[in-house]
């Protein structure tokens, strides 16, 4: 079991080093964000391997918290990277075109004329 965990930890360490290079070099913010998310998953995997080697469940709350932080962080980053998507929930009304303005003006004049006649 010790040989297997040593090999596993070595592989996780190598992957973590490669991810640190990706975080440093980029080239885009999205690459850095994805690399940091995967790095957090590697940290979780390392804690799980240590818990399996020691046959201990004391790190389970830490794993739950890290998993929750990873999920919430991924959702928040995804919403942030989506930017201003026009989903129809804007508070501002759409701009009025010249044609719409002319129609509203003529409609208002017709309503005023109808009110004056009554």
CATH number of 2-83: 1.10.287
d(CA 72, CA 10): 28
Q: What is the pLDDT of residues 55-96, one digit of tens each?
A: 988 999 999 999 999 999 888 888 887 775 556 665 676 777
Q: What is the CA radius of gyration of the chain?
A: 29
d(CA 72, CA 40): 12
Domain boundaries, the chain: 2-83
Would you put residue 94 in left (φ > 0), alpha (ψ -120 to 50) or beta?
beta
For 46, the 3-state DSSP assignment is helix
The alpha carbon of residue 108 and the mean position of all alpha carbons in its chain are separated, in whole angstroms, by: 48
Q: Would you say residue 99 has pLDDT above 60?
A: yes
Say whether pTM exceeds 0.75.
no
């Amino acid at each position: 079991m010790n040989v297997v965990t040593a090999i596993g930890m070595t592989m996780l360490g190598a992957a973590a080093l490669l991810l640190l290079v990706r975080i440093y070099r980029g080239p885009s913010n999205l690459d850095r964000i994805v690399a940091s998310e995967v790095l957090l998953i590697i940290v979780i995997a390392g804690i799980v391997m240590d818990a399996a080697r020691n046959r201990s469940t004391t790190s389970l709350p830490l794993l739950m918290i890290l998993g929750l932080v990873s999920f919430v962080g991924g959702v928040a980053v995804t919403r942030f990277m989506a930017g201003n998507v026009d989903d129809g929930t804007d508070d501002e009304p759409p701009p009025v075109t010249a044609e719409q303005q002319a129609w509203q003006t003529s409609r208002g004049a017709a309503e005023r004329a109808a009110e004056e006649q009554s």
